[in-house]
Structure 1
Amino acid sequence: MVEYRPEWPAEFERLAGRLEESLEGLAVAVDHVGSTSVPGLPAKDCIDVQVRMSSIDEARDIPLLAAIGFRCRPEPWNRMEVSAGQHCRKLVFAPPIGARRCNVHLRESTGPNARFALLFRDYLRADETARRAWGAFKQRLAVNVPDLADYGQIKAPATEVLMAGAERWAAAIGWQVEGA
């Protein structure tokens, strides 16, 4: 866990350009998501990129990203996730060996998991109190739980609490996914 780094947005933009080019116009949108997308929020130094697709087609998408060195993560949790009680397809890619650390998440543009990632980002950008509390929680957790799997297991229910606040915020201001 490191303090927010102002170079993260520019690093995302470089990644996004490569991804958009390799996906040959198939991406509905390429979004900077996760903690590195929230100014002022401590994060792991790993850029999270969400590529919203009209549909996920492994036979098409994996070769397109493999052509520029991205490797499809083989773990089962990198192909499916539950969001808003729905099982959602996804693909997660690791960067080329030796490249900047990142996770590239391909998600269907209308899926609740794509919405979740954007709501998380926008809520924490907008609410300073929530951002500070979430950052402090993550820093304490990282110090006390160094195992990444355990860290994720503990963080998951806390994320649900955070996102309940995000949903209230979204309803109060009429927030919607841009480009949906």
Structure 2
Amino acid sequence: MKAPMDTPPTPWVVPPQPQWGDEGADWAARVAEALGEEALRVDHIGSTAVPGLPAKDEIDIQASVFRLRPSEPLVERLTAAGFRQLGAMHDEDEVEDYTPIEEVPVWRKLLFHGPEGERRVIVHLRRNGAVNTRLALLLRDYLRADERVKADFGRFKLALNDIIEDEAEYLALKEPFLAMTLRAAEGWAELTRWVPSAPDAYWSVGQ
């Protein structure tokens, strides 16, 4: 099956596709290879990383880095591998109930599209240990572990297809449900003593 090109997905959410898992692993490996020792871990995140969950047909990859900076070598290494930077530093919306105690910004990230002409991929560079880095992994692992919550989340996302007109509206309607799901995920994390699963890819000496 030919991979879709780098164009916005329509409709916003589609039924789960069996190839998403393999695609995510492949793209995580490509990002890890491009970043080298700059990346502490690289993970397939987002809804396409949860088997059986409806999602936008785009692969989200998170690279956890020691120091997030909009300069060489992070940007240089990814652009040399064909990835295309989306603007400068991005400030993500803060999630309800998460009040950081750190003095450094914890909601920032760098964004990249995949190489031109290939399937739609978004690479999120976030600082290792930051709140937004942890939440991406927590939500993924929680949805993987709880079939009931995953089914509810999937039905909600598919229902949005009938009422949304643009991506901004889709994200705005999803935010309250996402915040509620994250609160439940925190309870699950405490009960299960959750730690992030093994990374999908990472750089190692001699690879």
Superposition TM-score, scaled by structure 1 size? 0.92
**2:43 maps to amino acid:** D
More strand by share: 1
Give the match for residue 45 of structure 1. 57
1:152-171 to structure 2, matched below 5 A, reads: 152-171=171-190
Alpha-carbon deviations, 1:159-178, whole Å to 9, x = none? 00111111111111111235
**4+ aligned runs moved over 4 Å, structure 1:** none
Residue identity (%):
40
Between the two proteins, the alignment pairs up a number of residues equal to 178
The answer as to 2:110 corresponding to 1:91 is yes
Q: Unaligned 5+ residue runs, structure 2?
A: 1-12, 101-105, 200-207
Alpha-carbon deviations, 1:131-170, whole Å to 9, x = none? 0000000000122113100111111111001111111111
Deviation of residue 179 (structure 1)? 6.6
Alpha-carbon deviations, 1:2-25, whole Å to 9, x = none? 111111111112211211111122
1:3 & 1:39 partners in 2: Cα distance?
11
More helix by share: 1
Q: Unaligned 5+ residue runs, structure 1?
A: none
2:196 & 2:75 partners in 1: Cα distance?
26
* Counterpart pick for 1:54 among 66, 71, 81: 66
2:65 & 2:148 partners in 1: Cα distance?
33
RMSD value, Cα: 1.7
Superposition TM-score, scaled by structure 2 size? 0.81
* Counterpart pick for 2:91 among 52, 73, 80: 80
Give the match for residue 136 of structure 1. 155
1:178 & 1:41 partners in 2: Cα distance?
19
Give the match for residue 13 of structure 1. 25
**1:136 maps to amino acid:** R
- Between Structure 1 and Structure 2, whose CA radius of gyration is higher? 2
Greater relative contact order (CA < 8 Å, ≥ 6 in sequence) = 2
**1:53 maps to amino acid:** V
